[in-house]
Amino acid sequence: MKIPIAIADDHQLFLKSVSMLIDHLPQFYVVAEAVDGAQLLQRLESAAEPPAIVLLDVDMPNLDGAATAVFISQRYPLARIVALSMKSDDASVITMLRAGACAYLLKDLHPDELERALTEIHQTGYYNADVANVNYRRLLHGLLENEQPGFTPREKEFLQLACSDLTYKQIAAQMSLAERTIDGYRESLFGKLSVQSRTGMALEAVRRGLVQL
- Residue 100: CB atoms within 10 Å: 22
CB 174 within 8 A of CB 109: no
Q: Check residue 165 and give its pLDDT.
A: 85
Average pLDDT estimate for 43-64: 94
Q: Check residue 133 and give its pLDDT.
A: 55
Question: Which amino acid makes up residue 135?
Answer: N
Separate counts of helices (H) and strands (E) for the chain: 11, 5
CB 57 within 8 A of CB 85: yes
Compute CA 200 distance to the chain's CA centroid, rounded to the nearest angstrom: 8
Q: What fold characterizes domain 3-127?
A: Rossmann fold (3.40.50)
Q: Check residue 56 and give its pLDDT.
A: 97
Residues 6 or more apart whose Cβ sits within 8 Å of residue 68: 8, 37, 38, 40, 41, 56, 60
Q: Check residue 26 and give its pLDDT.
A: 94
Segments of the chain assigned to CATH 3.40.50.2300: 3-127
Residues 6 or more apart whose Cβ sits within 8 Å of residue 106: 84, 85, 86, 88
Residues 6 or more apart whose Cβ sits within 8 Å of residue 61: 10, 36
Residue 194, phi-psi category: left (phi > 0), alpha (psi -120 to 50), beta (remainder): left
Q: Check residue 149 and give its pLDDT.
A: 67
Tell me: pLDDT of 81 over 80.
yes
Q: In percent, how much of the chain has pLDDT > 90?
A: 68
Nearest to 187 by CA among 162, 212, 210: 162
Average pLDDT estimate for 156-176: 93
Tell me: pLDDT of 47 over 70.
yes
Taking only the tens place, the pLDDT of each residue in 101-111 is 999 999 999 99
Q: Check residue 132 and give its pLDDT.
A: 58
Tell me: pLDDT of 137 over 70.
no
- Average per-residue pLDDT for the chain: 88
- pLDDT tier, 190 (very low <50, low <70, confident <90, very high otherwise): very high
Average pLDDT estimate for 74-95: 90
Q: Which is more confident, 200 or 81?
A: 81
Q: Does domain 136-207 have CATH number 3.40.50.720?
A: no
5 phi and psi angles, rounded to 5 deg? -130, 140
Average pLDDT estimate for 125-134: 73
Residue 65: DSSP 8-state? H
- Rounded distance between C-alpha atoms, residue 55 and residue 34, angstroms: 10
Tell me: pLDDT of 146 over 70.
no
Give the DSSP H/E element, type plus range, for residue 17: helix 12-23
Q: Check residue 11 and give its pLDDT.
A: 94
Segments of the chain assigned to CATH 1.10.10.10: 136-207
Q: What is the pTM assigned to this prediction? A: 0.77
Average pLDDT estimate for 160-176: 93
